[in-house]
Amino acid sequence: MPKVISFINYKGGVGKTTSAYHVACSLAQHRRQRVLMIDIDPQTNLTFLCAEIGQWQRRRDRIGTIKDLYDRYVNGVTLDVNRFVWRDAVVIGRNPIQGLDLIPCDIDLLGEDVGGSQIVGTFPTIQALKQNAQRYMKEMSFLNRVIADTGDRYHWIIIDCPPNLYLMTQNALHASDYYVVTAIPDHLSTIGLSILTDKVRNIGDTISKASTLAGQDGGRTIAELGAIVFVKVRLGGSRITTTHQDTMAAISQETFAANKVIQKYTTELIGYSEAAENRVPVWEHNSDNARRVARNNEYPEITRQLTLKLRR
């Protein structure tokens, strides 16, 4: 069975997609793992780190995206996930990174990702309450079904979530073994991180209640916090530098973060954006700025530490 990891944070622009992409690339390229990336963010950023817009449009029209899979799920049509998987999605020059696949996203998922029926409220009969819980569990279990359909084809499944905790992110958390939080180490993020882990726990409690009401047997309800990855850390002796370093140290001391902080972090460097524009991981981009990042060995080391932390 694959290890399923969701990259989450309800804050935007904190490196979820960049981290999901580079960890997936490093697992496949440096560790010879079979990896499936799933893009569930209607912004479609992970997809565009892999493919040009024209390529993506042709594929969307010919085959479809996660949105079509979602429609099939809602309408009770056989998913046939295999058909929607974009094989060898990251190409360096002419050579794909072996074993690295993608289920692409589509802006049309916007709207679908909000949803979420409630299990709170009053119901006229026990039967009505049970039916409601079953509906809730069905909404929550789309990604579970997608992943179940991939069998044991992958070692890792990496899900890139949107900057919210709505239906699709809840689906991802329900389907994942672990979630990884990425954060910029400023003061506000420190506050946000414990709120985030509390929220995830609450979502887990609700899923657990609903699954009992729906008459489904236990199983995993919610992902466990796997790791916290700090990104875009500023280096260079300024005041912000000290703040970043103090914040990382402070979070590492908090109870919820005990042993979860990955010691390697990414520094704020323009090479990341340059590589992104060229749809390759930063260690494969041929520019001075990207080479500067590559020398720091940031994501390969983050990936190495992550695999050690997530070993069961």
Ligand X SMILES: Nc1ncnc2c1ncn2[C@@H]1O[C@H](COP(=O)(O)OP(=O)(O)OP(=O)(O)O)[C@@H](O)[C@H]1O
List interacting residues with ligand X (CB under 6 A). Answer: 12-18, 41, 43, 45, 163, 231-232, 266, 268-269, 272-273, 276
- Decide which of ligand X, Mg ion, none touches 269; Cβ closer than 5 to 8 Å per partner kind: ligand X
- If the CB atoms of residues 132 and 171 are measured against Mg ion, the closer one turns out to be 171
Instruction: Give least dist CB 78 to Mg ion, A.
Output: 30
Residue given tokens 């909000």 in the structure block: 114
- If the CB atoms of residues 74 and 270 are measured against ligand X, the closer one turns out to be 270
Instruction: Give least dist CB 172 to Mg ion, A.
Output: 13
Do residues 187 and 247 touch, judged by C-beta distance below 8 A? yes
Alpha-carbon gap, residue 205 to 221, rounded angstroms: 8
Burial class for 304, CB neighbours closer than 10 Å (0-12, 13-18, 19+): middle
The phi and psi torsions of 52 (rounded to 5 degrees) equal -70, 155
Instruction: Give least dist CB 294 to ligand X, A.
Output: 13
Instruction: Give least dist CB 70 to ligand X, A.
Output: 19
Instruction: Give least dist CB 151 to ligand X, A.
Output: 29
- If the CB atoms of residues 207 and 229 are measured against ligand X, the closer one turns out to be 229
- What is the binding site for Mg ion (CB under 5 A)? 16-17, 45
- If the CB atoms of residues 12 and 115 are measured against Mg ion, the closer one turns out to be 12
- If the CB atoms of residues 16 and 60 are measured against Mg ion, the closer one turns out to be 16
Alpha-carbon gap, residue 20 to 233, rounded angstroms: 17
- If the CB atoms of residues 20 and 133 are measured against Mg ion, the closer one turns out to be 20
User: Which residues partner with 7 through β-bridges?
Assistant: 160, 180
Q: What is the largest CA-CA distance in the chain?
A: 67
Give 104's contacts (C-beta < 8 A, 6+ positions apart): 39, 44, 47, 50, 51, 56, 59, 60, 65, 66, 86, 89
Instruction: Give least dist CB 86 to ligand X, A.
Output: 19
Instruction: Give least dist CB 31 to ligand X, A.
Output: 21
- If the CB atoms of residues 164 and 307 are measured against Mg ion, the closer one turns out to be 164
- Decide which of ligand X, Mg ion, none touches 231; Cβ closer than 5 to 8 Å per partner kind: ligand X
Radius of gyration over alpha carbons of the chain, in Å? 20
Do residues 89 and 100 touch, judged by C-beta distance below 8 A? yes
Give 119's contacts (C-beta < 8 A, 6+ positions apart): 132, 133, 136, 206, 209, 210, 213
